[in-house]
Amino acid sequence: MTERVVLAYSGGLDTSVAIGWIAEATGAEVVAVAVDVGQGGEDMEMIRQRALDCGAVEAYVADARDEFADEYCMPALKANGLYLDRYPLVSAISRPVIVKHMVRAARQFGAQTVAHGCTGKGNDQVRFEVATTSLAPDLRTIAPVRDLALTREKAIDYAEKHDLPIATTKKNPFSIDQNVWGRAVETGFLEDIWNEPTKDVYSYTDDPTFPPVADEVVITFAGGVPVALDGVAVTPLQAIMEMNRRAGAQGVGRIDIVEDRLVGIKSREVYEAPGAMALIAAHQELENVTLEREQARFKKGVEQRWTELVYDGMWFSPLKKNLDVFVEETQKYVSGDIRMVMHGGRATVTGRRSEAALYDFNLATYDEGDSFDQSHAKGFIEIYGLAAKQAAARDERFGNGVDFGTGDL
């Protein structure tokens, strides 16, 4: 039986050429796998037909939009996943679901190898390959651009020579990856980190300099997941899409960052994630109301480690799975409503309410009805500061006390 290779197929020039390129370089038949994670653009049936027209022996097409929203975006929301406190893991969380379908296709069509179109400089090569080995250790991976010397110039020449049904003359100055959780833009003039992004960089967001009338939305959460917008029930996918539309119209979610790639390179990236950033801001505020103080403090560290693991391609790792259990447990009481005003590039929380809130008006108020017994405060402070008081007294005994004449204070 002829060996088969499953290729992650986007429908673009590089992966279209890779079908024939892989076949010629390895002698294998190519099965193209296209996964819809809400990236928009062309119809998936057209992409399926293009793959076959470019020489694929089979074309596996999956509508994974709800799966992606439910099983990948929602865990990222619950973990407030923001790499370097700014990037909402747009590309990082899409790779595991794509790999899951690639492995499924490999089993279905009897392939021994999977392939992706990543270069040797980026994070995605790691995400594709580590996810593959985590789900199917027996499969091997090849990367035509990295391993088979498939450059863009060679891809254009190959497409023209073989009359492939793909445009070869127009070269987009940017490298773009997008899905329902957001959009990532890099390369071109953005590689000079002094250059300001131009208007054509953006697609998901309107210019926040000239915003429309402010948009107020009430987001209802249940167990850390958005379940309604302005009282209308929504699925996770619908919530993200609607917030993309409304927050995007206000210019919310534009991110311009120099980030640390896993391979050790600093890279300038421009992201648009209007729905993700607005939902994360709302979710964080609801957690402020419903999580116990020490639980919330510890979760911050868990969130950072969770985010680093996902960014670094370890979605299916044992530690990531362990942290998932902790994050999920913290969401038990993260239910309620967040009122948010979106305007001029900002998403500002203006109200919060929850049946599970730990906020007690009678404890917090300074007015009539105050139920806090202030007589307890003096003893609390004595005990709280006792260890520091003892250490200060020891310093004095050994001549290491504060020298008030040297500007230490």
271 belongs to an annotated ligand binding site: yes
384 belongs to an annotated ligand binding site: no
123 belongs to an annotated ligand binding site: yes
Residue 191 DSSP symbol? G
Does the active-site annotation cover 140?
no
**What is the helix, strand, coil percentage profile of the chain, to 5?**
45, 20, 35
Contact criterion met (CB below 8 Å) for 221 and 286? yes
**Annotated active-site residue in 36, 48, 94, 124:** 124
The owner of tokens 């509508």 is 63
d(CA 343, CA 248): 10
Structure tokens at 65: 């939009």
175 belongs to an annotated ligand binding site: yes
16 belongs to an annotated ligand binding site: yes
**Annotated active-site residue in 4, 14, 183, 268:** 14
d(CA 243, CA 219): 10
9 belongs to an annotated ligand binding site: yes
87 belongs to an annotated ligand binding site: yes
182 belongs to an annotated ligand binding site: no
259 belongs to an annotated ligand binding site: yes
10 belongs to an annotated ligand binding site: yes
Does the active-site annotation cover 63?
no
94 belongs to an annotated ligand binding site: no
Structure tokens at 140: 């091997």
**Annotated active-site residue in 48, 65, 95, 246:** 95
**Annotated active-site residue in 53, 70, 147, 175:** 175
117 belongs to an annotated ligand binding site: yes
Least Cα distance to 48 among 39, 37, 58 occurs for 58
55 belongs to an annotated ligand binding site: no
d(CA 131, CA 205): 31
149 belongs to an annotated ligand binding site: no
d(CA 142, CA 158): 19
Burial-class residue 146 by CB neighbours within 10 Å (0-12, 13-18, 19+). Answer: middle
Residue type, 388: A
- C-alpha distance from residue 115 to each of 5, 15, 148 (Å): 7, 10, 11
Burial-class residue 397 by CB neighbours within 10 Å (0-12, 13-18, 19+). Answer: exposed
Q: How far apart are the first and last CA of the chain?
A: 80
Contact criterion met (CB below 8 Å) for 54 and 164? yes
Does the active-site annotation cover 95?
yes
Does the active-site annotation cover 124?
yes
d(CA 319, CA 309): 8
216 belongs to an annotated ligand binding site: no
- C-alpha distance from residue 214 to each of 23, 205, 211, 252, 342 (Å): 54, 15, 8, 12, 6
- Known binding-site residues for L-aspartate equal 119, 123-124
- Known binding-site residues equal 8-16, 87, 117, 119, 123-124, 127, 175, 259, 271
Active site residues: 14, 95, 124, 175
- Known binding-site residues for L-citrulline equal 87, 123, 127, 175, 259, 271
- Known binding-site residues for ATP equal 8-16, 117
